Structure 1
């Protein structure tokens, strides 16, 4: 069993050290990897560290911390992320993959995610890394350094310990989960889930930008204004590289639309060009005629919802999955209210496991 390590075997802060490390990493068939980054005052994450662990030819673990704050050319390291020959084990990989994709403009390849694997292995819905380490190895991992300043140098001893422990258990977790999934005939299901995850992780999900907005009580023109302001804000945040809510908060967007004018506090904060764009959106006669993503069930639909929830709970208990992993309440509500979403939501292994029974309830 892997023991908790207090420091990496290699702390890389020069180009020659990185070049040597990349040569060694390229020889591996599989690596465990994680990142630390900062995103407090920028739209795009600022990469601070890349942590890597691998087994050498003697089956001994080697661990690396790459200090990305140093003046390093990371091109060859990024090439490893997109190399489909070398498997990369992450835990909860979405933000890590987005960081690598943003910095390299290349698609990550051969990605393994132990959080997704845990969903198929009876560890609950989207279990955290520290939770898995505690349950599997009986080891406690402190999360106190998670939100520390990763751009400050020198890093503290506790920061380095926190960073490297995030990768040293990953490969053994992966091996245990892989054996369990193969034993239970779940590995193909996992492969399907990862494919869906990868398709969504790196593609902009425009509708997700609207999830914090309530459209109840707004007319179709106001809904169109909110949507257009949100999408305009996103483009401006990317262009200026500031967090979207620093540029213009959700609350400010809501107030602008509800009262149809820009308050004095925003007039002093925004540029004349930005104010002009906001006024142009407010003056538009465009009306939104599509789905807002907010669904409200009638009495019969609520009955179907309860029947379907019982079905999902029964299937989850049988498969030792979280019911939320099988089908979230929001997705269930969506397909009950708008049946055309059924076939795009219930696909692959989910369709195989409970699709027929769920369809009988919803299309009753």
Structure 2
């Protein structure tokens, strides 16, 4: 496995020009995401069947040629479990690999579980045992070790023959168009951003608050998201979700209450007064502007039995199609479908995922038939 480390713009330009002459390239990234809001890119791996390169983005100032490669629609980009890679590319380069196909999704259409790892597929299809001991390495540290380089290179070197074998089987089973649909859906879902004013809906435990408390949480969650993006810090490193819920529930008016609730002293010192000011701001919101209480599907008395019925439909579709149940329709997707029926009255512009694309014929129509 011969690879080249790319550390300058001129070499990168040559690599990208060569890659754009091919029909398909393998891509992967190594990044660090511990305390930051955005993943921090440490390394890019690229293999086009001839050149296997490790691109060092910490050394290269001008990478616009790589962004152009990502956006080149004549070159298919192959990745594995690329959800966070998409975030990396979008954040760093302002674009994502287009077109793109994910080998984890390809495997899912061949009966594998949706979260099947790269090493497991390489072992099954290529009879190669990959060393994954470097998966938690610090990819921002320099210099990278030879072992890290080999680990990173292997992720795209073996991706090519794996992709070729998966592609043959997917085409034979007639799932290629569905794989492409699912890959596009993955991009769409991964790059969907939460509007700051809707951030409170994603806070765990928000459903436990009444409308006035939600008015406070809405202000607080909006501020936390904006602060996290501005400082590039993970949300819970700004203020913990559980603390936000407690502040809103008690409608706290003093730092003493935060201390008594066991909040981290650094959090109180850094943001305590700001949070208290937001409580006061929230209390002044007119009642007619309070958010609606958050109702959970599971609180409906018929939900539990209905979910079981729909789950049985998915199980039957799984047995018929050979696809894993969680891939066909996850709990989240089933709940999305129930919401579509109960809340949106089957509105055609709010179609749930199970009523779109390949899923509609495989499982969606059958689910719809079970709902009155």
- Range into which the TM-score falls when normalised by the shorter chain: 0.7 to 0.9
Change (3 A) 1:108 1:225: farther
Structure 2 partner of 1:31: 25
Structure 2 partner of 1:164: 153
Q: Secondary structure at the match of 1:92?
A: coil
Structure 2 partner of 1:195: 184
Structure 1 partner of 2:262: none
Structure 1 partner of 2:38: 44
Contact 1:118 1:126 in 2 (8 A): no
Structure 2 partner of 1:248: 239
Contact 1:301 1:337 in 2 (8 A): no
Q: Map of 1:198-347 to 2, 5 A cutoff? A: 198-205=187-194, 210-211=201-202, 213-261=204-252, 263=258, 265=265, 266-270=267-271, 276-277=277-278, 279-281=280-282, 283-285=284-286, 286-289=289-292, 291=294, 294-296=296-298, 298-336=300-338, 339=341, 340=344, 344-345=351-352, 346-347=355-356
Change (3 A) 1:253 1:288: same
CA distance in 1 between counterparts of 2:45 and 2:123 reads 21
- 1:79 is displaced (CA, Å) by 1.3
CA distance in 1 between counterparts of 2:35 and 2:325 reads 37
- 1:281 is displaced (CA, Å) by 3.5
Between the two proteins, the alignment pairs up a number of residues equal to: 351
Q: Secondary structure at the match of 2:48?
A: strand
Greater relative contact order (Cα < 8 A, sep 6+): 1
- 1:45 is displaced (CA, Å) by 2.2
CA distance in 2 between counterparts of 1:33 and 1:341 reads 42
Contact 1:297 1:333 in 2 (8 A): no
- 1:241 is displaced (CA, Å) by 1.8
Deviation string for 1:240-292 (max 9, x for gaps)? 22222111121221221122125253441128667644542354344222655
- TM-score, with structure 1 as normaliser: 0.87
Q: Secondary structure at the match of 1:32?
A: strand
Structure 1 partner of 2:10: 16
Change (3 A) 1:75 1:353: same
- TM-score, with structure 2 as normaliser: 0.86
Change (3 A) 1:176 1:78: same
2:356 paired with 1:356: no
- 1:137 is displaced (CA, Å) by 1.7
Structure 2 partner of 1:173: 162
Contact 1:9 1:63 in 2 (8 A): yes
CA distance in 2 between counterparts of 1:23 and 1:75 reads 12
CA distance in 1 between counterparts of 2:177 and 2:345 reads 24
- 1:15 is displaced (CA, Å) by 2.8
CA distance in 1 between counterparts of 2:82 and 2:210 reads 39
- 1:52 is displaced (CA, Å) by 0.6
Change (3 A) 1:299 1:50: same
Change (3 A) 1:233 1:158: same
Unaligned runs of 5+ in 2: 260-264
Unaligned runs of 5+ in 1: 57-61
Q: Secondary structure at the match of 1:185?
A: coil
- 1:88 is displaced (CA, Å) by 0.8
- 1:164 is displaced (CA, Å) by 1.1
CA distance in 1 between counterparts of 2:159 and 2:136 reads 21
Change (3 A) 1:271 1:209: closer
Please, what is the CA RMSD of the aligned residues? Answer: 2.5
Q: Secondary structure at the match of 1:270?
A: helix
